Structure 1
Amino acid sequence: MKKRLILTILIALLFGACSNQNEASQKETEKQVGFVQKEEKTKKERDEQEKAEKEKKAKEEQERKEKEELEKKAKEEQERKEKEEREKKEAEAKQLAAQAEAAVQALENNQVTENIAPAQAAIEQVVDPTVKATLTERIGRVQNAINEKAKVEAQQAAAAQQAAAQEQRIVYVAQYGKSPAYWYNINNMPSNTRKDKVITMSEADAIRAGKHHSNKE
């Protein structure tokens, strides 16, 4: 009876020890499982973060490229417009210069005062300062020529008018026309002049004969 009791106690102790060992082993296993799960979770979070960062960088790079492409296209469009505008202005400038050249040539070919104003107006539209200065100088030369021509014509007209007047004007010459001077009024001649020897002639004939108007009249 006593032996059976001891055996029962030993068996109980043995089962208790095994039970404690299994419990400890289970806890260790649970601990390791928890650690592994934590590592996997950390790795998963890290992978997801890296993926998110890569996607973010890829998106930013794509946006940067798209922005650069848009800026490039905008710049090219701006340059194209500027080139078109520049070419348009150059073409307009050439056309205005050609019109001014034609106007100046017309003035040079027909040098009359009426052609000066149109030529000057055409020159005012010229953009190139060198071309403008050259055309202005050419107009100046034509103006001088017109003024000189007008001056000569005025002198010729005055001379012709004077000559016509001299043909009509009657003068008096003493000594039967031998006196070197002539008078417009016989009464202005010196008192000792022999009036019976005074003859008349046109002033033009007197001048052609080498006579001059008396400085005493």
Structure 2
Amino acid sequence: MLLEVIATTVKDAVIAERYGADRIELITGIREGGLTPSLGLIEGVREAVGIPVRVMVRPHARSFRYDEADTQTMLRDIRHIAAVGGLSLVMGMLRPDGAVDEELLKRLLQAADGLEVTFHRAFDEAEDQIAALEIIKRYPQITDVLTSGGQNTAPEGAERIAVLERLSSMSPVSILAGSGLTADGLRDFVIRTAVSRVHFGSAVREDGDPLKPVDPARLQAVRSILNSGKR
């Protein structure tokens, strides 16, 4: 069972690794759903931890639709991230009609030059999630789809997440369930959905506050639950 934890500082990343995270999603702007972190933070986290780190590539929080100026920013960010070495990416993009922006996806994947990618929660705003998943499955670089099943929280979207998990089971893409997961009910959620990857943010921070540091005790509690239910 893979446990991905959001980090917004070097200290977050270090604590996450020490207390049970398998992978880090590195972002800034946590209340905006995640934005591209600074190059200094990216380099600092890569130097500080040994577990995999996926870096958010998202130039603004206005929407998941990007114009050419946004695209050029994202391409530059991807090149900088790739130059650091040993990192992966998190990104997602939609057309105005709610379909995956496949043209932009191809451009960014080409710039990523083989780096593994998570397609983030832009997926939850797709007009047709099943069709979106079929597009994403065409690209082996994309190993994860972060989703709450189209609902505000993953527990609310559990039924759809279970469907997505079944549809992705014979492909290179894994469903990464995230948003609103907590230690309470986690075991039942994993059983209901059959997911093997989960994503945690506020629930493993002090007082459940997104602007506070990662809390070792909360993170260890989640890790213990996941370990007890290993398949």
Normalising by the smaller structure, the TM-score range is under 0.3
Structure (1 or 2) with the greater strand fraction: 2
Structure with larger RCO (C-alpha < 8 A, sep 6+): 2
After TM superposition, the score normalised by the length of structure 2 is 0.16
Larger Rg, first or second structure (1 or 2): 1
Structure (1 or 2) with the greater helix fraction: 1
